[in-house]
Chains A and B, each alone.
Chain A
Amino acid sequence: MAALAHRLSGVLLALFLPFHFLLLGSALEGADELDRYLRFADSPLVKIAEWGLVSLLCIHLLLGIRVLCLELTHWPHRSEKLRSWILPSVIASMLVGLLFLVRAF
């Protein structure tokens, strides 16, 4: 399950990144253009989407740290110990997402 969450969040992030870059790249055409996009980004629907992306980055990051520990460290029984890392990672990501929402609105 953790691996699946890590994978899906990774795929979604990879698909989203080009649009994220496009948005910022539009600043090339001046602050007005960027502002126009950001106003579009103000709509609740887009905020929800961004909330998803913040949460995705967070969960991919936390579960990625788990994978690095699993593969590249030598701690004994880390696979069992790291199982207790999964749920807090999910909760922390939701909290970060929630914090983002609270601050964004």
Chain B
Amino acid sequence: MEKSLFLAQRITAMILAPLAIIHLGLTLFAVQGGLTATEILNRTQGNIGWALFYSLFVVCAAIHAPIGLRHVINEWTVMPRRWVNALVIMLGGVLLLLGLQAVAAVY
């Protein structure tokens, strides 16, 4: 189990790295003079490329973040392991759900 979690976190990290670089670049480019909804939607609506890009981003982040937080909570708090697992699985679910919803919303 621990090995699978380790692999999952590192593999998603390797996928997230280039995605995050592109996302950061896009953010810096797009933020020029403030954001408007139309601007965002013009870029993303009907564009399957961005939809896939951000879906992958969301899925990876929803795997990557809970595994990381699980380590942090286990190491820095005395919360029982079972609760921690439940909590981070919930977090993963929330991230996945909200994230994909957001991708769908701007598509």
> How many A residues, CB 8 Å from partner?
38
**B69: nearest residue on chain A (CB-CB)?**
A14
Contact of B37 among A7, A17, A32 (CB under 8 A): A32
Task: Kindly state whether residue A86 has any CB partner on chain B within 8 Å.
Answer: no
CB contacts under 8 Å to A, within B49-107, are 58, 61, 65-66, 68-69, 72, 91, 94-95, 98-99, 101-106
Q: Evaluate contact between A35 and B36: CB separation under 8 angstroms.
A: yes
Contact of B95 among A18, A38, A72, A103 (CB under 8 A): A18
Q: Evaluate contact between A22 and B98: CB separation under 8 angstroms.
A: yes
Q: Evaluate contact between B104 and A28: CB separation under 8 angstroms.
A: yes
**A14: nearest residue on chain B (CB-CB)?**
B65
Q: Evaluate contact between B24 and A58: CB separation under 8 angstroms.
A: yes
The 8 A CB mask of A10-38 against B (1 = contact, 0 = none) is 11011001101111111110011011001
Distance, CA A38 to CA B95, complexed state (A): 21
Task: Kindly state whether residue B4 has any CB partner on chain A within 8 Å.
Answer: no
Q: Is the interface of A mostly helix, strand, loop or mixed?
A: helix
Q: Evaluate contact between B106 and A27: CB separation under 8 angstroms.
A: yes
Residues of B near A23 (CB, < 8 A) are 102
Asked if A27 meets B105 with Cβ closer than 8 Å, knowing A13-B65, A32-B37, the reply is: yes
User: Known contacts A14-B69, A38-B36, A61-B20; can you find 17 more A-B pairs with CB under 8 A?
Assistant: A10-B69, A14-B68, A18-B94, A21-B95, A22-B102, A24-B106, A25-B102, A27-B102, A31-B37, A34-B40, A41-B35, A54-B24, A58-B24, A61-B21, A100-B31, A103-B32, A103-B33
Show 19 residue pairs from A and B whose CB-CB distance is below 8 angstroms, ordered by the A residue.
A13-B65, A14-B68, A20-B102, A21-B95, A21-B99, A27-B37, A27-B40, A27-B41, A28-B101, A31-B37, A34-B41, A35-B38, A38-B34, A57-B20, A61-B21, A64-B17, A68-B10, A99-B28, A100-B28
